[in-house]
Amino acid sequence: METSAIDQARATEFASGTTYLNTSTCGLLPRRALQAVRALADECAAGVRGGAGSFDAVDAARAGFARIAGVAPARVAVGGSVAAHVGLVAASLPPGAEVLAPTGEFSSVVSPFAVRGDLLMRYVPLAELAGAVRPGTALVAFSAAQSADGRVADLDAVRTAAAAHGARTMLDASQSAGWLPLDAGAYDYTVTGGYKFLLCPRGTSFLTVTEEAQGAVPSLYAGWVAAEDRWNSTYGPVEKLASDARRFDEPVAFLAYHGAEHSLELLAEVGVDAVYAHATGLAARFREGLASLGHEAVPGTSAIVAVPGLGGRESELAAAGVMVSARAGNLRAAFHLYNTVADVDRALEVLAG
């Protein structure tokens, strides 16, 4: 019997001690990523490395994300959080610019714009986002999949509406990259936390910027790591920043990026299309099972399933070894390559209990 890439990855890379359906909060680390983090930690503890880590690993992670996002590595900047990346985009806007976002959007996607105090923030329901773009809208900031309930935006419609009105787009792929195919080049900016469906350690985050949009973004993190020549830019003002998106790099947590290199390598081996089919198939089975129990999930085909009003049962599920999350009153379960039909059935068994 032929073993699929997903079956092989599950058998060799993951060893969860629970029924883990909480990737929307934090993904499981593959064994190869864990080994890389441990190796660097051991080297740092023993003093056998001339620094805290390797930029080769950082650049390998950059290339790994670029491959998943469908862009060249030169379009990718690395950092530690989505909020910091969004802050760069927010700093690029002139006073009075209008930012359009979905109601209830994740805080890190909208707060860097809102706290400026001199931008016009406008919020509409997710289903109305494309229709709400208007002349004068400077930026549409939204997630591909909503954190609270997993709903997937009408990506094509939003892009088309933004282009028709000359608005830029910023897509947050934190809840989608890794299971939902991503075409980062179709947006002016994308921001992605790496520690969810990309299976990276926390402390990894990726920003993509089109060549045209790069000219508008200020280099707020103009340290030596963002220089064209890193090691000859460690003293005095940086004479020349990197000529590509690396000019927006933040100083990174090397432990996280040493692991990220290998997590992204694994996803490339399995393939996001294969993960999409597997994860959405399990999610569909879970929705059907919930309906049979009298629970109506948020409709859709997302790998993230949310059940309004059921968030209070999170602790009950956790006590039974089923890890989910409660968000905005919803019970939220997320399915990824390491999950199985048995995981779905176990969660339904506890909910039926």
Distance linking the first and last C-alpha atoms of the chain? 36
Q: Is the pLDDT of residue 314 over 90?
A: yes
Bridge-based pairing state of the strands 137-143 and 98-102? parallel
- Rounded mean pLDDT of 11-23? 97
Which two tokens mark 153? 């935006």
Residue 49: what pLDDT?
A: 78
- Rounded mean pLDDT of 124-149? 98
3-state secondary structure the chain: CCCCHHHHHHHHHCCCCCEECECCCCCCCCHHHHHHHHHHHHHHHHCCCCCCCCHHHHHHHHHHHHHHHCCCHHHEEEECCHHHHHHHHHHCCCCCCEEEEECCCCHHHHHHHHCCCCCEEEEECHHHHHHHCCCCEEEEEEECECCCCCCECCHHHHHHHHHHCCCEEEEECCCCCCCCCCCHHHCCEEEEECCCCCCCCCCCEEEEECHHHHCCCCCCCCCHHHECCHHHCCCCCCCCECCCHHHHCCCCCHHHHHHHHHHHHHHHHHCHHHHHHHHHHHHHHHHHHHHHCCCCCCCCCCCEEEEECCHHHHHHHHHCCEECEEECCEEEEECCCCCCHHHHHHHHHHHHC
Residue 176: what pLDDT?
A: 98
Confidence band of 52 (pLDDT split at 50, 70, 90): confident
Q: Is the pLDDT of residue 1 over 50?
A: no
Share of the chain above pLDDT 90, in %: 97
Residue 326: what pLDDT?
A: 98
* pLDDT tens digits along 315-326: 999 999 999 999
- Rounded mean pLDDT of 120-138? 98
Measured distance CA(124)–CA(113) in Å, rounded? 16
In one-letter notation, the amino acid at residue 14 is: F
**pTM beyond 0.85:** yes
Cβ atoms 319, 350 nearer than 8 A: no
Which two tokens mark 32? 């190869």
Confidence band of 277 (pLDDT split at 50, 70, 90): very high
